Amino acid sequence: MRRFGEAVRAVPVLPPTGVGKSVGRLAGLVCSAALLAGLCHGAAAQSFGASEAPPAGWRQLALPSVLPSALPSAPAAVVPVERPEWPLAPEPPALPPGFPSAAGSSLPAQAAPSLSVVPSAGSADLLARVTQLHAERRWADLVGVCETAARAGTLTPPVAERYDLAKIHCDLARRHGEQAFRQRVVGLSEADGRRVTREVFGRIASHHVDQPDYRKMVFRGCRALDVAIDDPLFVSLHAAQATPQRRALYREQVGRLLSGRALDSQDEAETAAAWVARIAHSTLGVPPAVTLLEFAAAAMGSLDEYSAFLTTGQLEDLYAQIEGNFVGLGVELKSAEDGLLVVHVIPGSPADRSGCRYGDHIVSVDGRPLAGLQVDAAAQLLQGPEGSQVALVIARTGEPLRAVPVRREQVEVPSIEDVRIIDPAAGIGHVRLSSFQKTTATDLERALRRLDAAGMRALVIDLRGNPGGLLSTAVDVADLFLDRGLVVATRGRSPEEDFNYTATRSGTWRMPLVLLIDGDSASSSEIFAGAIRDHARGTLVGSRSFGKGSIQGIFPLEVAGVGMRLTTARFFSPTGQPYSRVGVQPHVEVRTAARPIAGGGVAEPAAAGGGDASLEAAVTVARRAVAQPSARAALADR
């Protein structure tokens, strides 16, 4: 399933004009799993300026020799890029064992749990599968096979190496397959490219949750360029001179440039990027700005599973996630062998009105078959301006293929769904939270008042499949049910990221509470569930949550309409427990088996009698809670 994954703090970062997609919905594609739980605080989320003048003391570095008889020099306007001379410094010092917590806190240092990767029969099977996919150059499938283990930190080194290479291929294809990104890149100057790399490296240096490994970033940047100059699309767009001889010379030149360099500082990382850009231009004809943007993107990908370089389209998607609306079709999709599997249709959306249903397969878009396409590439076919029409071909089990025209419209994405009294006799209310958007807390309060008027005596909140959203919204939602105390604490390498978020007494609902969670409840869902658990405010039912315990800041860059998603902190429960790779354990665990859907995917887990086992267990817990004497005066002190 296509993901955006992460925790985002709510801050006043305004989207550019014309934004329009949402909560993981990529103009008709809804992204689920590991979403967002918090944008960065004030200064951390503002643009990071960069001066174009080189600092005092910088001097020209002699470029390694080229073959003048065979290769033309770079244009004169491109050559004079001044960078500092390379010092041969020792390896960077080891990281400290942990970073200090905020004053007055007893929380542990924010380092992620250390996991030992021990090869097993399962890892051997994974290696064999990954090796096969690597040989077949099925990069998207390779990423999909490894993604869960990668986020859990359990990939063995041979698998991790192939997984990283596959991500480089997929990211390259996504960036240069996006028309908006290609249009932005055209005409960028070398100075523009240098500003992007300086801004990216500067943000990493000041705000990434871990100490930067510049050597790792530089070598991944070089590896990404190595992949790019063999990629047919990239070559057709940016490297028309990339003959086998010139590629070999480029690789030789870069190897000599980096040989013996310490690469242990931000200046040296920027220097490496600038000189690789010069070599790529003089040997292959790649515009320097293109190389520098690729370098910045690859450096971001080296940090952690959630940090990423964002193209224009991806940046707009994230803004739309926060706003809760987008232009598109209104379906949630995941990849299938024959195209895209519909796993959710937003009620009242264009797709809903056109007859699209859960379990449908979209096999063609505007006459183009989708089999074998990456989810991102398929999503781009679904995108288009408001009011335009797209022709889908849908396969449904037991029925012939049918053509379905759908009009792209503005779609409001509800974060509160299925509000009802699920058991009138016991007064059990039910609400499904699908994400944590700007208006979720207000919308939930409105839904609670409706249920209260209908006779609610206990409440079940379904967080299954909820990938997260805004950290501030998670705090606001928890505050509806907690009268005091810590909701969540964040800790980063930068002191700006150390915050303790607390509940207040005003407006607290006091009815018995049951939360439903599963392995796809992530980020903000875990913040909410963890606070309810640690304060003994309610009962958690279902299965262990995802284990997404980090916060990402969204930083729009000053050049090219691009941005970066950067992990800036980790968050901890009220009792100081980490969430990363741990998750939240329910009080009542429900083991279920998912039903397969023909052609790929699974349906909701079912009980033996065909119902929803987890929901039934939650309702049973709520009934017992209502029967307790302490629940008789259960409603809010508002």
pLDDT of residue 630: 63
Cα(88)–Cα(143) distance, rounded to whole angstroms? Answer: 37
Length of the chain: 638
The model's pLDDT over 616-631, given as tens digits with 9 standing for 90+, comes to 999 999 999 998 876 5
pLDDT of residue 144: 85
Domain ranges of the chain: 325-412
Structure tokens at 389: 């029409």
Q: CA-CA distances (angstroms) from residue 514 to 116, 471, 528? A: 35, 21, 12
**Tokens 């951390």, located at residue:** 44
Determine the longest span between alpha carbons in the chain, in angstroms.
Answer: 92
Element (H, E) at 271: helix 266-284
Which residue type sits at 368? Answer: R
Are 37 and 581 spatial neighbours (Cβ–Cβ below 8 Å)?
no
Cα(296)–Cα(602) distance, rounded to whole angstroms? Answer: 37
Nearest to 158 by CA among 115, 121, 119, 215: 119
pTM of the complete model beyond 0.85: no
CB atoms within 10 A of CB 147: 19
CB atoms within 10 A of CB 174: 20
Give the SS3 label for residue 350. helix
Cα 144 to chain center, whole Å? 14
Structure tokens at 307: 């940090």
Cα(533)–Cα(41) distance, rounded to whole angstroms? Answer: 27
pLDDT of residue 101: 37
Cα(189)–Cα(196) distance, rounded to whole angstroms? Answer: 11
Please give the CATH superfamily to which domain 325-412 belongs: PDZ domain (2.30.42.10)
Cα(128)–Cα(603) distance, rounded to whole angstroms? Answer: 29
Structure tokens at 69: 């008889």
Give the SS3 label for residue 126. helix
Cα(398)–Cα(124) distance, rounded to whole angstroms? Answer: 38
pLDDT of residue 88: 30
pLDDT of residue 390: 93
Torsion angle defined by CA atoms of residues 130, 132, 138 and 142, in that order, rounded to the nearest 10 degrees: -10
Residues tagged active-site: 523, 534, 548
Question: Which are the contacts of 342, defined by CB distance < 8 A and separation ≥ 6?
Answer: 331, 332, 333, 351, 356, 357, 358, 359, 360, 361, 362
Give the SS3 label for residue 145. helix
Average pLDDT by stretches of 10, the chain with 638 residues: 37 27 30 29 29 29 31 34 35 32 38 42 82 92 87 88 95 90 91 96 95 95 96 94 95 92 93 96 96 96 94 84 78 84 88 92 92 76 88 92 92 89 96 93 96 96 93 95 95 92 88 95 96 97 94 90 94 94 94 55 46 93 87 48
Nearest to 471 by CA among 110, 14, 36: 36
- DSSP collapsed to 3 states, 220-234: HHHHHHHHHCCCHHH
Give the SS3 label for residue 365. strand
